[in-house]
Amino acid sequence: MKKYSEELKISEMRVSLAHFLTSYNKNLPSGFPKVSAALLKKFKETHPLFFKHGDLWSLDEHRKKIIDWMPPRNQES
């Protein structure tokens, strides 16, 4: 139970883009596309309402939204 609460705490932490990028790619299941800083900046420009805390990111708030957003973005490339 303690491990779950630690993972939840990490997931809910608001962090910088660089820290989020590292954590996002590290914990991503295999087969999912990795993100870059440029792609995250594009996501933020496209969805400014998802950023109620300024330039801070959290896995809890943003990971699923990015995963859902990624497939159409990858097809454009």
pTM over 0.75? The answer is yes
Domain ranges of the chain: 2-76
The 10s digit of each residue's pLDDT in 4-46 is 677 777 788 899 999 999 999 997 888 888 999 999 999 999 9
Q: Give, to the nearest 10 degrees, the angle between helix 2-12 and helix 59-76.
A: 60
d(CA 6, CA 56): 20
d(CA 30, CA 9): 23
3-state secondary structure of 15: strand
User: Which has more confidence, 23 or 76?
Assistant: 23
Ramachandran angles phi, psi of 34, nearest 5°: -75, 160
What is the model's pLDDT at position 46? 94
